[in-house]
Structure 1
Amino acid sequence: MSHSGARQWRVDCECVPEVAEQRDSQKWQRMHSQVSKRNATYFISEDRLAEDISESELRERLERIDGALVACNVCGSLKRVDT
Structure 2
Amino acid sequence: MSGDGLQPSPDTLIKMANALGVATDELLGLKGKPASGGKPSLKTLRRLKKIEELPPSQQKALFKTIDNFLKGAEKE
TM-score, length-normalised on structure 1?
0.28
Considering only CA atoms, is the larger Rg found in Structure 1 or Structure 2?
2
- Structure number with the higher helix fraction is 2
Pick 1 or 2: higher relative contact order, CA cutoff 8 A, min separation 6. Answer: 1
- Structure number with the higher strand fraction is 1
TM-score, length-normalised on structure 2?
0.30
